[in-house]
Structure 1
């Protein structure tokens, strides 16, 4: 559609500028990750680009080091626990915010969103000090709960957005046919919310697996997650092993997104 007052040439020029900016932004976002993955297969013993050869040596070394393997399992545990907490807390909260008929729905939304607006370092420090005051030491449980609080807004916003697009007449029809509120919720609402719930679960899992800003203050000494080990590697070595760890984290995120795409399709998330 032409913009009023602009010539066809100006329209094409504006569209071309928008496309160029979008491509440049995409390159800036994707290129660093691609370069890291390429470096992880380099044959040299130090980080350099472009690589001189191709080898799986650094990935073999990654899975040969027990410390790194243990940190992977810790990150997987944290990711799963964060996901479960966000589903259990986020879905009912989204229902309350979108369908609630009580005073304070706006305040509830703001309360849920507030931790996500705070820098993770600030939240992690606050949780560390609060835990010290009540005698709770850093652990995998404290780390999981803290990250869940930090990313709960992602689940709430994803499910709320889906709820706002649902046709209320579907639930009303089920009620008119004799279904109880619980039956209507279980048979109509939740199946329609499943794509949004799964999408929110993927995003919260990836954040729980990769989070550094909160985890650095709340992880236990014996429950060091992979991002913390990666930070230690960056400080102590310059080998492509660092890139291999980063490549593994990127792979986990891609696999999670592909799982959603294969199961429900990414195009159904916002429908």
Structure 2
């Protein structure tokens, strides 16, 4: 009885410690974003906490600022191009890695993962120098391609994880019904992959929209995205305008998660 009592106490202490660490970690992750959002509504013309009042003027000034709306539109274009490239390249790659029957599948998986493991700054410099060697100047296209190479593994791993959880009997049943491999892919596999593809698309769009480590070396002078413009803005002003821009990016990320949650459910991404 004493041994059982000591065991139950130890389990309770362990669970309590894990819960405390989880809550503390969550606060460290969430608290800075909440503070930035609160500051973006402050009535004062400088960054300070806690705020003295509530106003939406800084969000209005974001769209009145000459460069910020252009930078926001550039970020949206980069995010959409990165998402499209990741879907076109990532889904077939995931299918090949998960269903491929040749020796190079493992090497292909590692090859896709390597750019994601390299620091973004290193990849950005490498793409910048490589583009210069072949006469390609920094532009929105070079920026999109470099970010795609950096985060393609996100789409591949998301779709591949879903593929590995699919019941092979479904595809075998389609084959037994004389469906061709393409018909089986179109009518059975692809519909089951849609939740993972949508989740990967949302994550890659947010990363393409927010990326700065790669984009800072590959963007053109006229193609500065919102994070780069925000970095420039921080150097010259300390007004809550900076917090308002950050608040828009935070709200965009939250909206993306809400879209995934309402459409497929976060718990179904890797089912």
TM bin, normalised by shorter chain, reads over 0.9
Aligned Cα root-mean-square deviation (Å) = 1.0
Further displaced range: 20-29 or 258-267: 258-267
* Aligned equivalents of 1:78, 1:257: Cα separation in 2: 19
In the TM superposition, 1:46-125 aligns within 5 A as 46-125=46-125
User: Residues 43-97 of structure 1: CA distance to partner in whole angstroms, max 9, x if unpaired?
Assistant: 0000000000000010000011131000000000000000000000000000000
User: Residues 224-248 of structure 1: CA distance to partner in whole angstroms, max 9, x if unpaired?
Assistant: 0000000001111000000000000
Residue 17 of structure 2 corresponds to: 17
Q: Report how many aligned residue pairs link the two structures.
A: 268
Residue 215 of structure 1 corresponds to: 215
Are 2:232 and 1:232 aligned? yes
* Aligned equivalents of 1:5, 1:203: Cα separation in 2: 46
User: Residues 237-260 of structure 1: CA distance to partner in whole angstroms, max 9, x if unpaired?
Assistant: 000000000000111111111111
Residue 254 of structure 2 corresponds to: 254
Consecutive aligned runs of 4 or more in structure 1 exceeding 6 Å deviation: none
Residue 171 of structure 1 corresponds to: 171
Residue 41 of structure 2 corresponds to: 41
* Aligned equivalents of 2:98, 2:209: Cα separation in 1: 29
User: Residues 86-115 of structure 1: CA distance to partner in whole angstroms, max 9, x if unpaired?
Assistant: 000000000000010011111000000000
Q: By how many angstroms is 1:5 displaced?
A: 10
Residue 182 of structure 2 corresponds to: 182
* Aligned equivalents of 1:254, 1:12: Cα separation in 2: 34
Q: By how many angstroms is 1:155 displaced?
A: 0.3
Q: By how many angstroms is 1:178 displaced?
A: 1.1
User: Residues 139-177 of structure 1: CA distance to partner in whole angstroms, max 9, x if unpaired?
Assistant: 000000000000000000000100000000100000100
* Aligned equivalents of 2:6, 2:89: Cα separation in 1: 50
Structure 1 counterpart SS, 2:42: coil
TM-score relative to the length of structure 1: 0.97
